[in-house]
Chains A and B, each alone.
Chain A
Amino acid sequence: MNIIVCVKQVPDPEIPPAKFKIDTETKKVIPPPGVPPVISVYDERAVEAACRLKDKHKGKITVISIGSEKAIEVVRHAISMGADEGFVLQDEPFENLDSFGTAYVLGKAIQKIGNYDLILCGRQAADWGAGQVGSILAEILGLPLVTFAFDIQLEDKRFKVKRILKDGYEVVEVPMPALMTVSSEIGLPRLPAGMGLMLARRKQIPIWKAKDIGADPTQLDKTKAHTEITEIFIPKRETHCELITGATPADAAANLALKLIKLI
């Protein structure tokens, strides 16, 4: 089975909120110094989903990422987990794309790679989190779509997929090839180890430009973007936390109960 996974590099979303800074002028986030960017959380789980399928059915996993040259790192991470190869899509017209632009570029790269049975995306990127690139990509490629997948099985050339709902889940069946967006309920991703790490270090990761994938520049014209961000801001929160103390933690707890009982 041939699987293509779309992975994005994002600023580490797990930094403490106090370290999260934005530049309201340029409408950009200021990455905290010294904290390296990471593979977007759900994309890492999409790689995990691909690896589980490969463990069972054999096949090849290709990862692609639109980003800066540094995005090579997230492609290497995916390879260290078990992916076979990867490409970084880096070019000036690929910068600051909206969801349609992103899906268009991914679609072009996927068509160039060709020969796929399954395409996996994360359900949402951990940075700007539009939550729609996978679905738009399915429409562009004309593929059946399953969103929020957390268990993917292959049965007789069809996929049987569990997708998460707010109060349970749904089991659906789709033909191959298909596109799925992966949700975190699939479980924790594997840790890169031994062989994988070595392969990842050695692997050549080509960089593709607009001309390499035959991207039509008019499709990437920023003045025709479907959505535009006009402002970003951090809401002010002014809560004062009253710390409850006591001679021991148990005393503090008793004092807290005395306080709260009056409020409920």
Chain B
Amino acid sequence: MEQYKGVLILGEIADGKLAPITSELLGIGKKLADELAEDLSVLLMGGKAGGLAKEAIAYGADKVYIAEDSLFDEYNSDAYTQLVANLCQKVLPSILLIGHTDIGCDLAPRLNGRLGGGLAMDVNELSIDHTTKLLVSTRPIFGGNAYARVISKTARPQMATVRSKVFPPAERDESKQGQVIPVEEKVDPSAIKVRVIERIREEVEGVKLEEAEVVVSGGHGIGSAKNFEMLWELARLLGGTVGATRRSCDEGWIPVTRQIGQSGKVVSPKLYFAVALSGAMSHIVGCLGSKYIVAINKDPEANIFNIAHFGIVADYKEVLPALTAKFKELLSAK
């Protein structure tokens, strides 16, 4: 076990730049590496990875592994698993941090299976235990109703996936020096069993959920796809957008890409309207970062009233039109 040393970050590249999650992982990774007095490294994969090495060093990496091959420009589970597993078996990192992204959610558990490590998914806290020097990961259990602290006593690497915006990005230091190491190994094409045929990105109407300042979310109590129009009216007026619970998505009232919560998106607007939704923790973990949560629900016992800052106990159909009308009046007077 002693031969496992250092913190390795799986870097992600988006639009030719380091993805925000990568600088965030470098930030927390640096903290952990410093506490262990070990190195921080990052792996960058893709046809243009080499050009980003300097950037990664400025964000704190001591070593940058570069797998410069356009094969990695698009994510393929088989190719990535093979390359990252091979590198880990050579470099023997003690800690491996991966984004809780489309890539990470697929790659991390599989890589763990191949390497025989110890993985905690979707962590919101990471620290080093002072006496044992083990990584302590905190992650939601029971849909966010509780949290667990997880360690790996002997399995290596100690792995975790982290959602974006959980940790602040690393600070830049242009003068920082680091080492760039090419990864020479090639992926064995016969190990690629899964072929990606196409990737469809859904066009979003208006503001992106993750960037919206106002989100109006509707739950199962909304009752129909048509009724969601009431939520859209309020959202558009306030320059925001519409979200949903899983039950609303299950009903097909709204696209699944608008689901908020543990298995959907995490949003942090100034204002979050929770309309006709009960406030299950697996939904709430997706909006806890909101500045103000406003609940509209006809059931005074609904859990959402334990979470919200403001609330109205009533049928939303009698509340929303009046709310939108009043906002319209107030905004035009402004």
Contact = CB atoms under 8 A, between A and B. Distances in A.
A131 B102 CA distance: 13
Interface stretch (A49-57, A210-218, A242-250): A242-250
B326 A228 contact: no
Contacts of A254: 322-323, 326
Given A13-B142, A100-B116, A263 B150 contact: no
Query: Interface of chain A, helix or strand or loop or mixed?
Result: mixed
Contacts of B118: 226-227
Interface in B264-294: 265, 270-271, 278-282, 291-294
Interface in A161-191: 164-175, 178, 183-185, 187-188
A253 B146 contact: no
B113 A20 contact: no
A237 B307 contact: yes
B263 A124 contact: yes
B155 A249 contact: no
A135 B109 contact: yes
B175 interface: no
A131 to B, nearest CB: 5
A114 to B, nearest CB: 21
B280 to A, nearest CB: 7
B119 A132 contact: yes
Given A253-B320, A258-B326, A17 B303 contact: yes
B149 A231 contact: yes
Contacts of A29: 142, 146
Contacts of A137: 113
Nearest to B147: A233
B195 A253 contact: no
Contacts of A258: 326, 330
A261 interface: yes
A26 interface: no
A103 B113 contact: yes
B122 interface: yes
Contacts of A251: 322
A113 interface: no
Contact of A241 (B301, B310, B319): B310
Contact of A20 (B146, B152, B246): B146
Given A139-B113, A249-B322, A253-B322, A232 B141 contact: yes
Contacts of B257: 166-168
A222 B330 CA distance: 63
B105 interface: yes
A146 interface: yes
Interface size class of B (residues with CB under 8 A): 35 or more
A238 to B, nearest CB: 10
A198 interface: no
A13 B322 CA distance: 35
A101 to B, nearest CB: 12
Contact of A256 (B77, B194, B294, B301): B294
B327 A169 contact: no
Interface string B137-175: 000111101111111111100000000000000000000
Contact of B106 (A147, A229, A240): A147
Nearest to A243: B311
A148 B309 CA distance: 35
B294 A132 contact: no
Contacts of A228: 150-153
Contact of B142 (A129, A168, A170): A129
Interface stretch (B1-9, B55-63, B86-94, B198-206): B198-206
11 contacts: A132-B119, A135-B113, A144-B193, A166-B257, A224-B154, A237-B307, A245-B312, A248-B318, A250-B319, A252-B314, A256-B319
Given A17-B280, A175-B193, A260-B294, 17 more contacts: A16-B303, A20-B142, A134-B109, A135-B110, A144-B194, A147-B105, A165-B102, A168-B201, A171-B197, A171-B199, A174-B195, A232-B148, A244-B310, A250-B318, A250-B319, A257-B326, A260-B327
